[in-house]
Amino acid sequence: MAEEIIFVVYGAIAAALFFDFVNGFHDAANSIATVVGTRVLRPLQAVGMAAVANFAGPFVFGTAVAATVGKGIIQPEFSTVYVILAGLVGAIVWDLVTWWLGLPSSSSHALIGGLVGSALMVGGLQALVFSGVERVLVFMVVSPSIGFAIAAGFGLAILYFLGRSVPGKVNRVFGRLQIVSASFFSLTHGANDGQKTMGVITALLIAGGMLQSEKFIV
């Protein structure tokens, strides 16, 4: 293996870790916004809770998302270290720009878009795994709609059953429940967003010849 490629792989892995760091303050903070905003937890407590839950996510829910990102977006022959690095840089820049401007934006969209864009520049449409890209795009559209429907239904149910309850008592109960919901939100965030970086790093190791593709391990 050329020494140059080794350094590029290490640099790309560092970029992937930096993307994960950016994702932490860009996306992961959403999971603790409610408990901090309502003063159920202090910011430091909420961050600690989110860190533990995000770390545990992949161990609880498995690594299917990492496998999709690592080998289900770009065809293996086009999944080079430079293509993946270009996708990471694009995602990082977009995340930082939207964070600076205070615009809500998904790091998942940025990463997938960066990988797809860099692959298209190198090999055109034939560089993409269409089944994987299609599945990702469908769920990027469907998942917010499902979340909206569930949240709306749950909100209406709460208003129906608790609309005339004593506010103080309801606030105490829901304050505790917010800790549960925020913890689970962080857990699922780690299982989803955290895995994307795992998949990217694994793809980098394969592209750099440090890991055999038939032994795809995240």
Residue 123 near residue 75, CB atoms below 8 Å: yes
User: Which pLDDT score, from 0 to 100, does residue 213 have?
Assistant: 56
Residue 74 near residue 129, CB atoms below 8 Å: yes
CA–CA separation, 177 vs 154, rounded Å? 14
Report CA 140 to chain centroid distance, whole Å.
12
pLDDT, greater one: 209 or 122? 122
For the chain, give the percent of residues with pLDDT over 70. 95
User: Which pLDDT score, from 0 to 100, does residue 2 have?
Assistant: 61
Q: Which spans in the chain are helix H?
A: 3-26, 33-37, 43-61, 64-71, 81-101, 107-123, 130-162, 167-189, 195-207
Give the range among 28-32, 45-49, 95-99, 199-203 with minimum mean pLDDT: 28-32
What value does the mean pLDDT take over residues 22-49? 84
Q: What is the mean pLDDT of the chain?
A: 86
User: Which pLDDT score, from 0 to 100, does residue 152 have?
Assistant: 95
pLDDT, greater one: 84 or 206? 84
- Name the pLDDT band for 214 (thresholds 50, 70, 90): very low
Question: Residue 82: CB partners within 8 Å, gap ≥ 6?
Answer: 8
What value does the mean pLDDT take over residues 53-64? 83
User: Which pLDDT score, from 0 to 100, does residue 15 have?
Assistant: 94
- The C-alpha R_g of the chain, in whole angstroms, comes to 20
pLDDT digits (tens, 9 = 90+) for 83-95: 999 999 999 999 9
Residue 181 near residue 33, CB atoms below 8 Å: no
CA–CA separation, 13 vs 200, rounded Å? 8
Nearest to 207 by CA among 117, 114, 74: 74
pLDDT digits (tens, 9 = 90+) for 112-142: 999 999 999 999 999 999 988 998 889 888 9
pLDDT for 13 beyond 70: yes
Question: Residue 20: CB partners within 8 Å, gap ≥ 6?
Answer: 194, 197
Burial class (CB in 10 A: 0-12, 13-18, 19+), 187: buried
What value does the mean pLDDT take over residues 151-156? 92
